[in-house]
Chain A
Amino acid sequence: MKNQQDIKHIANLVNLSFSDSEVQKLIKDIKKVSQYLMDKLSCLDTENIEPMEHIFHTANIFRGDYSTDSLDREGLLKNAPVKENGYFAVPRIMDEN
């Protein structure tokens, strides 16, 4: 992420927008961080090391297949900033039809 365009690309992926001055700061910060990380890590050979996705060797943690009561709808929608007839709502999406 070296320039404005790279920042914009990632920002679009994570749905964030930044002012020009923020973009400048981000470029600076990110450059510093990635420089630091690369300096530290690039000299370490990890060619034959398996990535560690989980700390412990536990596997097969499952739930039984039975249904229980769901949250009541009022509770589910309680914190929704906008709701309509028992639904959550977003501005109308046009491109579907």
Chain B
Amino acid sequence: MDLTRLTISEALEKIKNKEISIIELVRSYLKQIENLNKTIGAYITVCREDCERMGPILQEKLDCGENIPLAGIPMALSDNIITRGVLTTCASKMLHNFIPQYDSTVNEKLRHSGAILLGKLNMDEFSIGSSNENSYFGPVKNPWDPERVPGGSCGGAAAAVAANMACFALGSDACGSVRQPSSFCGVVGLKPTYGLISRYGLIAFASSLEQIGPITRTVEDCAIVLNAIAGYDPKDSTSANIKHPDYTAFLKDNIKGLKIGLPKEYIEKGLQKEIKQKLCEALTVFESMGAVVEEISIPMTKYAIPAYYIIASAEASSNLARYDGIRYGYRAEDCESLEELYKKTRSEGFGFEVKRTIMLGAYFISRNCYDSYYKKALKVRRLISEDFKKAFNDIDVIITPTVPKTAFKTGRKDDPIQMCMSNIYTVSANLAGLCAISIPHGTDCNGLPVGLQLIGKPFDEGTLIRAAYAFEKNT
């Protein structure tokens, strides 16, 4: 039996019944990583020794009857999530040697839940990119077709879960960085509502847009992981102080009466034919289960990418200013003055795409541009949120394709705007602070995965999970 094919719930069951041991499970994953990482490039760091050490410790606790919800489940984190004592690079030369002495809240929570950290996953440098070709540690390949990209920025996370190199993974999503690669790689990816998951220990790229989200193989697994990582964190001022439900309670194959909206602006043009077809099929499936589908309008859709681009670059330009070679990370050698230290360190430590983003972002908030770019983008952001607020008065869930086209070939990374276009359906949820999930829905004619996106109201992950679960069960 290939243990790496087990879902979280299956693995937990088998461990509980003593059909398999934790160390067996962990070793199968380590083996899978050893076999595949050379071609896929999903991992930057593998924590082999920690895994070997933690396996027996958890097994013993479990055997003693301790209640550990995710005991022994092997998982991996995007390398922009801080892990105490484990190299955390953000896929950048700038942090190629950075070993944090503190922990992210999500890693702390997962550790307490008994999950085992297999390692740290490749991504686009500092989350800047949509194809995972901008990594200091080399590109990630799509497990379905190594000639194609896995999507980004969390390409490593989606590829690892798709290729059974991790039972689940966490990434971060500022415009679709969890959902787009999940769609490209045929796995489930959730971007929770802004504020549901603590950002403490997430290396900041676009602070007002990004959320950590799980990448799993099934909707059930998604609910299980969300239970483990959601919740208020006093260390994050933007974390929502609300009590969240048990998300596994929403795993019910019943969506009778669910009102689903399809925004007409999302199917106008540039949509791959098969994806359109798949969307139609999905609507039929939902209707057959008793859901009501209606057309809705999000008129501000076309302004989403421009607004996102300005806000994200502006925040990134400030968030990435701290990398100066003084307290941690890369430092250029033989600098005789402070200015030289700053400029050489930053110019050598960041890749070109990152530097371009910093330049653009600084430009957008510079004195003469603030009103015409940054302030304007914040106004557009309000208009977009209001669009969604209005839409959600009448419906429960919005349905869209996750991406307009399936995974594209490698080597197209040059055009900054074109790269954003694969996030055209995902970005609005970030601007409006909504939750959204991408679930796999078959393949196109090239055998590449197609994804379906469901967008929910703020903090209504439960409904998303219910709809996604029902869909999964009926396709």
Contacts and interface: CB of A to CB of B under 8 A. Distances in A.
Interface of A: 1, 7, 10-11, 13-18, 22, 25-26, 29-30, 32-34, 36-37, 40-41, 44, 46, 49-56, 58, 61, 63, 71, 75-76, 78-82, 88, 90-91, 93
Interface string B333-354: 0011111111110110010100
Interface stretch (B162-170, B260-268, B359-367, B396-404): B359-367
Contacts of B208: 54-55
A13 B367 CA distance: 12
Contacts of A14: 317, 321, 346, 358-359, 362
Interface string B231-271: 00010011011000000000000000000000000000000
A7 B356 CA distance: 11
B359 A7 contact: yes
Contacts of B433: 55-56
Contacts of B379: 46, 49-52
Contact of A16 (B240, B358, B458): B358
B326 A40 contact: no
Contact of A76 (B101, B302, B385): B101
Given A50-B379, A61-B237, A10 B417 contact: no
A88 B322 CA distance: 14
Interface of B: 97-102, 194-195, 208, 234, 237-238, 240-241, 302-303, 305-307, 309-310, 317, 321, 324-331, 335-344, 346-347, 350, 352, 355-356, 358-360, 362-363, 366, 373, 375-383, 385, 415-417, 432-433, 458
A58 B347 contact: no
Contacts of A51: 375, 378-379, 381-382
Given A36-B306, A51-B375, A10 B363 contact: yes
A79 B350 CA distance: 18
Contact of A91 (B328, B330, B336, B358): B336
Contacts of B321: 14-15
Contact of B346 (A16, A36, A40, A63): A16
Contacts of B305: 40
A37 B378 contact: no
Given A14-B358, A46-B380, A88-B326, 6 more contacts: A37-B310, A44-B383, A54-B208, A58-B240, A63-B234, A91-B336
SS of B interface (majority)? helix
Given A7-B359, A10-B363, A80-B326, A33 B309 contact: yes
A41 B303 contact: yes
Contacts of B101: 71, 75-76, 78-79
A24 B305 CA distance: 25
Given A29-B416, A78-B101, A1 B363 contact: yes
B331 A16 contact: no
30 contacts: A10-B359, A14-B358, A14-B362, A15-B342, A16-B355, A17-B343, A18-B347, A26-B356, A30-B359, A33-B309, A33-B360, A37-B309, A40-B303, A41-B303, A46-B380, A51-B378, A52-B378, A52-B382, A55-B195, A61-B241, A71-B101, A78-B99, A79-B98, A79-B327, A79-B329, A80-B326, A81-B325, A81-B331, A90-B341, A91-B338
Contacts of B376: 41, 46
Contact of B195 (A17, A25, A56): A56
B362 A82 contact: no
A15 B359 contact: no
Contacts of A55: 194-195, 208, 385, 432-433
A26 B362 CA distance: 14
Contacts of B342: 15
Interface centre among B102, B331, B355, B383 (most CB of A within 10 A): B355
B9 to A, nearest CB: 33
A40 B359 CA distance: 21
A16 B344 CA distance: 7
B347 A49 contact: no
A80 B327 CA distance: 4
B194 A56 contact: yes
Contacts of A18: 347, 355
A64 B463 CA distance: 36
Nearest to A9: B366
A79 B359 contact: no
